Amino acid sequence: MARSNVIVNACLPAARVAACIAGYALVVLSVLITYDVIVRKLFDASSIGTDEIGGYIVAIMAAFGFTYALLQHAHTRIDIFYQWLPKRLRLLANLLAMVAMASYACFLAWRAWATLAESIEYKSTSNTSLHTPQWIPQSVWLLGLLLFAIVSVALLIHAVWLMVRGNASQALQFYGPKTLDEEIEEERLDIEDFDQPPSSVQAPGARHD
């Protein structure tokens, strides 16, 4: 069964853009590392700041990737006994998982804000040749963690609202772990998209008989 969640649909565009930016940043990091390896091998030299920039990119990429993974149900869930639990226990398990996720996300955002405030107060810079003002990468990092916290809390509130209104089945469908059938269907669609030749892509507005 398809999951049509209004909260997820509202948050997903921003999370998808952030994930794409993080992905391109990872490509940039790969290019920098490749360049550094080649220069070191051929000319016995190295570029300045690759390790430092790489650390910033990985931290920021992870922060923004948390939200997209959450909306895609990609975070790890230990659900070996989940399918055999009665409905009420499955609801409780999902609620506890969402409370834990939202609490952790808020804690990360809170500590990131404290770290940024300290860096601004003391005008902290990196202890490298770049002397990067730490508030610059930390601000972007904080934005990613704030997005994660906001979306986590919004999903938790929506789940509780569904339960209070008596829509337990919908709450399980939206916020429970993916079923085996859903995972198989996603894999099948991914394979079909991968095998589909570019010429067979249907033009917008064209009819499919």
Q: Could you tell me if residue 184 is inside a domain?
A: no
In DSSP notation, 123-153 reads T-B-SSTT--BTHHHHHHHHHHHHHHHHHHH
- With b for 16 or more beta-carbon neighbours within 10 A and e for fewer, the 108-127 pattern comes to bbeebeebbeebeeeebebe
Residues 127-154: what's their mean pLDDT?
94
Residue 1: predicted pLDDT? 42
Alpha helical stretches, state H, the chain = 6-43, 50-71, 87-122, 135-164, 168-175, 180-195
Which pLDDT does position 41 carry in this prediction? 83
> Quick check: 39 pLDDT over 80?
yes
Confidence of residue 134 (pLDDT cuts 50, 70, 90): very high
Q: Is 55 left (phi over 0), alpha (psi -120 to 50) or beta?
A: alpha
- Evaluate whether residue 205 is within a structural domain: no
- The amino acid at residue 24 is Y
Whether residue 139 lies inside any domain: the answer is yes
Q: Residue 69 falls within a domain, yes or no?
A: yes
User: Does 92 map to a domain?
Assistant: yes
Which residues does 144 contact at the CB level (< 8 Å), separation at least 6?
18, 60, 62, 63, 64, 66, 67
Alpha-carbon distance of 168 to 93, in angstroms, equals 13
Note whether residue 1 is domain-resident. no
pTM of this structure = 0.81
C-alpha pair distances (Å), 126 with each of 23, 56, 134, 162 = 25, 11, 6, 47
Output b/e per residue, 44-72; b: 16+ Cβ within 10 A: eeeeebbebbbebbebbbebbbbbbbbbe
Whole-angstrom CA distances from 70 to 47, 90, 152, 174 are: 36, 19, 8, 12
- For residue 157, what are the domain limits? 6-75+86-179
The tally of domains found in the chain comes to 1
Examine the pLDDT at 31 and tell me if it is beyond 80: yes
pLDDT band at 124 (very low <50, low <70, confident <90, very high): very high
Contact 60, 144 (CB under 8 A): yes
In a domain, 193, yes or no: no
pLDDT surpassing 80 at residue 203: no
Is 194 a domain residue? no
pLDDT digits (tens, 9 = 90+) for 46-88: 777 888 888 999 999 999 999 999 998 888 877 778 778 888 8
Q: Distance between CA atoms of 73 and 182, rounded to whole angstroms?
A: 11
The mean per-residue pLDDT over the stretch 180-199 comes to: 69
pLDDT of residue 196: 67
